[in-house]
Amino acid sequence: MAVAGEGPALVLLHGWTVSHAEWSPLMHELAPRFTTYRWDARAHGGPVPRTATVPTVQRMALDLRNLLEAFDLEGATIVGHSMGVLTIWEYIRQFGTRGLGRLVLVDQSPKLVTDATWRHGIYGDFDAARSAAFLADLEADFAEAVLRLAALGLNERARRKYAEDSRGWQIARSALRKQAPGPLVATWRSLVEADWREVLPAIDVPTLLVYGAESNFYDAPTREWVHAAIPGSRMHVYENADHSPHQAAPQRFVRDLREFPG
């Protein structure tokens, strides 16, 4: 857990396979304005877990509750990116919204796997067969499978840079190869097996949605569905941004965060 800054409490939940360092590019802007709490989610960012507890999103929701209670963070703003959003939705499923302040949800869908009646998951066509094939790819070559998931989606620039094996992809590959795949695959299984669509209409705290216009995973109909499903939510779409709009435009993201009423 990394705690820094001064001001109202801000809890930052990172995406799958990364760590609290995801938020480092924003800290120059955040630290003078907020007291930030950046965790490494279970099975992320450190040594292999020494517990038999499977690192599922359901367990991460309980971890979040324990964090909020341990630091007495009633009324805190909770910011989630990707898996962090799913952790927030699972928290609300289990514990409701009591004690939560504002929510800031970055580039996510409430159901990752698509079917004949649901086209708002990954790519718009990540069906059960494609999901199973990805899990098999993770078992065969974890690092490359994760890279391909991001690279071979909806963002044409990502496709090109992956084909070129650019420096950024090389750095990401090296970082992924240092991680223990087993716990992270278990986490992924819990993400694709879940469905949070019924949670969204129950969200009754101020909610800001931030999406990348060139998201690797989610198209405009997906973000519009999420926006319509969460009562009173606001949405910002960042042009020229991918699945990580907060990193593509950190100053704008912090400004939007500060100006969002709660």
Give per-residue pLDDT as tens, 40-89.
Answer: 999 998 766 566 788 999 999 999 999 999 999 999 999 999 999 999 99
Query: Please, what are the domains in the chain?
Result: 2-259 (3.40.50.1820)
Find out whether 65 and 39 touch, Cβ atoms under 8 Å: no
pLDDT tier, 261 (very low <50, low <70, confident <90, very high otherwise): confident
| Longest Cα–Cα distance in the chain | 48
Tell me how far apart the alpha carbons of residues 237 and 119 are, in angstroms, rounded to a whole number: 20
Cα–Cα distance for residue pair 9/4, rounded to 1 Å: 10
Q: pLDDT tens for residues 125-183? A: 999 999 999 999 999 999 999 999 999 999 999 999 999 999 999 999 999 999 999 99
SS3 25: helix
The pLDDT, as a whole number, for residue 51 is 67
Neighbours of 103 (CB within 10 A): 24
Tell me the three state secondary structure of residue 229.
Answer: helix
User: If you average pLDDT over residues 185-192, what whole number do you get?
Assistant: 97
Sign of the alpha-carbon torsion through 108, 114, 117, 119? positive
Q: DSSP for 26-62, please give it.
A: GHHHHTTT-EEEE---TTSSSSPP-SSS---HHHHHH
Name every residue whose Cβ is closer than 8 Å to that of residue 72 and which is 6 or more positions away in sequence: none
Kindly state the average pLDDT of the residues 10-35: 96
Reported confidence tier of residue 201, pLDDT bands at 50, 70, 90: very high
How confident is the model at residue 54, as a pLDDT?
A: 85
Categorize the per-residue pLDDT at 93 as very low, low, confident or very high, splitting at 50, 70 and 90: very high
Which pLDDT belongs to residue 141? 97
- Please state, in angstroms and rounded to a whole number, the distance separating the CA atoms of residues 29 and 31: 6
What's the pLDDT tens digit per position in 103-129? 999 999 999 999 999 999 999 999 999
Q: Is 177 left (phi over 0), alpha (psi -120 to 50) or beta?
A: alpha
CA 2 to chain centre: 18
The per-residue pLDDT for 45 is 84
pTM above 0.95, yes or no: yes
195, 79 Cβ separation under 8 angstroms: no
Lowest mean pLDDT among 46-60, 80-94, 188-202, 214-228: 46-60
pLDDT of 50 reads 65
Partners of 212 in the beta sheet? Answer: 238
pLDDT of residue 47: 64
Q: What is the pLDDT of residue 49?
A: 59
d(CA 83, CA 57): 8
Angle at 4 between CA 9 and CA 91, to 5 degrees: 45
